[in-house]
């Protein structure tokens, strides 16, 4: 049996780390997608095969620095 490559999602949430203030709102609203890097303390996006569109859109709408957006893959 051959190994299958995981299919890339059509789009992924991305964080503009320069604009991000690490307020952690995204962590509270959508912890399955947004994580805090234990080494740097910065926010990062989990590597998922699919992202919950409604939840991510809610985070985008509530981000005080407007630093989260969708990016086509």
Segment 59-71, tens digit of pLDDT = 999 999 999 999 9
Measured CA to CA, the distance from residue 62 to residue 26 in angstroms comes to: 8
Whether the pLDDT of residue 4 is over 70: the answer is no
* Strands 43-45 vs 34-36: parallel, antiparallel or unpaired: antiparallel
Query: pTM for this structure?
Result: 0.85
CATH code of 51's domain = 3.30.70.20
Average of per-residue pLDDT across 26-53: 97
User: How much of the chain exceeds pLDDT 70, in percent?
Assistant: 90
Q: Is residue 4 included in any domain, yes or no?
A: no
Q: Is residue 2 included in any domain, yes or no?
A: no
Token pair for 57: 């859109």
**What's the domain range around 65?**
15-72
Domain count, the chain: 1
Q: Is residue 10 included in any domain, yes or no?
A: no
pLDDT of residue 25: 97
CA atoms within 13 A on the CB side of 17: 9
């Amino acid at each position: 049996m051959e190994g299958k490559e995981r299919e890339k999602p059509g789009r992924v949430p991305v964080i503009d780390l320069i604009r991000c203030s690490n307020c952690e709102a995204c962590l509270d609203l959508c912890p399955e997608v947004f994580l805090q890097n234990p080494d740097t303390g910065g926010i990062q996006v989990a590597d998922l095969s699919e992202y919950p569109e409604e939840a991510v859109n809610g985070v985008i709408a509530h981000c005080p620095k407007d630093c989260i957006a969708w990016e086509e893959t």
